[in-house]
Amino acid sequence: MGKKSKKTSTTTTPTTTTTTTEGNVFDPFEKLDDSQLDVFKQFKDRLAKLEPELDEPERKWIENDRDMMILRYLRARDYEIDAAFELLKGTIQWRKTYKPYETSAEALSYEACTGKQYVYGKSNGRSVIYMRPARENTKNHENQIRLLVYNIERAISLMDKSQGHEQICLLIDFQGYSLLNAPPMSVSKLTLEILGNHYPERLGNAFLIDPPFIFNIFWGAISPFVNKVTAKKVVFVSGEKGKQKIYNSYFTSAAEVEKSVGGESEHEYHHPHFWRKEVEMNRIERGLDPISEEEMERVLNLKE
């Protein structure tokens, strides 16, 4: 199915293994046994029969990442083909209804303006989403989830799947965290549902940076809703030594991580600069013309 690579190097973490190739395209089938390959073929045949019934956006989504997408859904259900196919059909229906590909960066400008959530840098090829709960600036839970989905889609778009990079990392900075800015349980549960049901096997790790003791209350309440596989990907990180250990293990160097969380990168979120680029990229992706400078300034200065 895939061309075998002549030379590979493998980076292993406690929860993921990413194989990169030198001179050849990543082969997602290389480590599958015969029974897994057979299940894959059966799944692909089922999908081929379903595709003519789908709308163009859903067909395009499948075509963009067919083989690796199928394997993610199969892994998420331990290669139980019926369960995996039902999971995929659920995602297709969700995408048809939620339409993440139509999300407007302009409409999310105020939601994103504090830098509470954005995509920056890589963890061994995996896109990183920075999250800062203390910077929460709205009570609009629908838009909070919309921003999350937008950033997941952006993180995916910035990875090189030809090198086997398909998982994202969450870097959650708890500086200034309190129960006052903690997300409601309903939002947290919906976040887990979206990640688990519609982006299965997309989460590589979630690094929780310096969580305060009070976070234990929230974690105790939400952890029963976190499945065992996801729970193993959650890494609690405290103190400078803990941060350096994690950054040395999961990143090429601390220079890829912002100084605000113990790294060495000078990058800081600056909304007018950062979101301008998001608006420009997002409009290209949606096949729209650029907006005027006057309109851009209005978007970047939205107050709600």
Determine contact, residues 62/51, Cβ cutoff 8 Å: yes
Residue with the two structure tokens 């107050």 = 303
Q: Judge whether 271 lies within some domain.
A: yes
- Tell whether 144 and 237 lie within a shared domain: yes
**Residue 139 is assigned to a structural domain of this protein:** yes
Q: Are residues 86 and 155 in the same domain?
A: no
In contact, 103 and 149? CB cutoff 8 Å: yes
Cite the DSSP H helix spans in 158-238: 185-198, 215-222, 228-231
Min mean pLDDT across 77-81, 212-216, 264-268 is at 212-216
Handedness of CA 146, 191, 162, 50 (dihedral sign): negative
How many domains is the chain built from? 2
**What's residue 105's pLDDT?**
98
CA angle 69, 74, 76 (to 5 degrees): 95
User: Is residue 296 one of the residues assigned to a domain?
Assistant: no
Strand (E) positions, 187-274?
203-209, 234-237
Q: What is the mean pLDDT of residues 206-216?
A: 93
Residue 236, in any domain of the structure: yes
- In which domain, by residue range, is 191 found? 114-288
Distances, alpha carbon 95 to alpha carbons 49, 133, 149, 197, 203, in Å: 19, 27, 11, 11, 18
State pLDDT tens for residues 31-90. 999 999 999 999 999 999 999 999 999 999 999 999 999 999 999 999 999 999 999 999
Q: pLDDT tens, 120-158? A: 999 999 999 999 999 999 999 999 999 999 999 999 999
Q: Is the Cβ–Cβ distance between 117 and 108 less than 8 Å?
A: no
Which tokens sit at 158?
A: 């910035």
The 3-state secondary structure of 56-125 reads HHHHHHHHHCHHHHHHHHHHHCCCCHHHHHHHHHHHHHHHHHHCHHHCCCCCCHHHHCCCCEEEEEEECC
Q: Does residue 18 lie within any of the structural domains?
A: no
Weakest mean pLDDT among 8-12, 59-63, 136-140, 267-271: 8-12
Residue 37: count other Cβ atoms within 10 Å of its Cβ. 12
Examine the domain organization and report whether 68 and 120 are in the same domain.
no
Mean pLDDT across 2-10: 41
| pTM higher than 0.85 | yes
Asked, for residue 11, whether it belongs to a domain, the answer is no
- Indicate whether 142 and 200 sit together in one domain: yes
The mean pLDDT value of the chain amounts to 91
CATH code for position 43? 1.10.8.20
